[in-house]
Amino acid sequence: MANQSLNVTLIQPDIVWEDKPANLRQYEQYIAGIRERREVVVLPEMFSTGFSMAPEGLAEGMDGATVQWMKDIARQYRCILTGSLIIEEEGRFLNRLVWMQPDGKYGYYDKRHLFAYAREHEHYHPGTKRLIAQVKGWKICLQVCYDLRFPVWARQRRAGAEMRRGAEDAGSTPEHTGMSVGMRTAAGDGGNGREHTGMGTEMNAGPEYDVLLYVANWPEVRSLAWKTLLQARAIENMSYTIGVNRVGKDGKGIYHSGDSSVFGPMGELLWQRSDAAVCHTVTLDKEMMIRKRERFPFLEDADPFMIL
């Protein structure tokens, strides 16, 4: 339905450096304390450890304890839970965002742009495809931290116009949430989508997504770039744009001011919080977004392109 709203809860924590049990405990407390309807709950980048370059001692498989914790929490609170963590797969370490559904099915996105300034590229393997998840008729493009600096990777493409794409529909409509959830991927290999399940469903023509979501460990020293680029991504893609960051000092003494933010499809600031650990729920209005896109059809004038 065009007027369907979506609750997104942003958790901006002070991550305990490389201490998974302590971090998972604090997230459970935050999630248990949410008073609004829980629909999509967002944790930051490397939410269980902080932005660590020591994956050898911290990585898990997709059958590991942290992914299982995500399954348990999503099922218990009947919500979607997302954030990135350190995964090992086929001998490679990945900064992987997991989109966990309440029925235990999930999609994932491996961070494409690795932060060479912190030598992330020496420890982790980059991803090659985007993930666009679906819930309640909303399409959400999922990205991680440094991806924010590269607008082409996030740029709206008219669905069905320039590229073939894979799709995955989890086929789950939990009665307790009313959510219809699913995932599709769009690859950066000439536009050939690769699906997790082989279900090749096409999306309707129009913008690829309604919400652009970044999870991050973005330091305070570059907070101006963080806030400016989030707003720019919202304006150029005419989508809600959400950034979920951490606060406090990490294990290297680097301070993070948070500045988790929600921008509307015209770039208007809807919510932002700095220098405090916080859990906040924002309700997104799809009807308003559609009205803005219809009144200002700027996306129709965009140049067609393909990521090679």
CATH of the domain at 14: 3.60.110.10
Does the structure show a pLDDT above 50 at 166?
A: no
Q: Do the domain assignments include residue 107?
A: yes
Q: Which of 20, 39, 45, 120 is catalytic?
A: 45
Identify whether 248 is part of a domain: yes
Q: What pTM was estimated for this model as a whole?
A: 0.88
pLDDT at 200: 31
Q: Kindly tell me if the per-residue pLDDT of 303 is higher than 80.
A: yes
pLDDT, greater one: 300 or 181 = 300
Residue 189 is assigned to a structural domain of this protein: no
**What is the model's pLDDT at position 257?**
98
* Residue 169 is assigned to a structural domain of this protein: no
**Catalytic residue from among 71, 111, 139, 227:** 111
Share of the chain above pLDDT 70, in %: 83
pLDDT of residue 205: 67
Question: What value does the mean pLDDT of the chain take?
Answer: 87
145 in active site = yes
Band the pLDDT of 157: cuts 50, 70, 90.
confident
Tell me if residue 45 is catalytic: yes
More confident residue, 238 or 1: 238
pLDDT tens for 8-54 read 999 999 999 999 999 999 999 999 999 999 999 999 999 999 999 99
pLDDT score recorded for residue 182:
53
* The Cα angle at residue 276 between residues 233 and 244, in degrees rounded to 5: 30
Is pLDDT at 161 greater than 60 in this prediction?
no
* pLDDT of 177 higher than 50: no
Identify the bridge partners of residue 245 per DSSP, sorted by sequence position. none
Specify if 73 maps to a domain. yes
Residue 254: domain span: 5-127+216-296
Check residue 178 and give its pLDDT: 37
Q: What is the pLDDT of residue 202?
A: 39
Q: Is the pLDDT of residue 183 over 70?
A: no
Question: Is it the case that residue 265 has pLDDT exceeding 60?
Answer: yes
Catalytic residue among 79, 141, 145, 279: 145
Question: Is 192 a domain residue?
Answer: no
Q: What does the chain come to in residues?
A: 308
- pLDDT given for residue 180 in this prediction: 41
User: Has 39 been annotated as catalytic?
Assistant: no
Residue range 199-212: average pLDDT?
69
Q: Is residue 47 part of a domain?
A: yes
Q: In the prediction, which pLDDT does 240 show? A: 98
Domain count, the chain: 1
Is residue 269 one of the residues assigned to a domain?
A: yes
The confidence score (pLDDT) of residue 159 equals 57
Mean pLDDT, range 177-198, rounded to an integer: 38
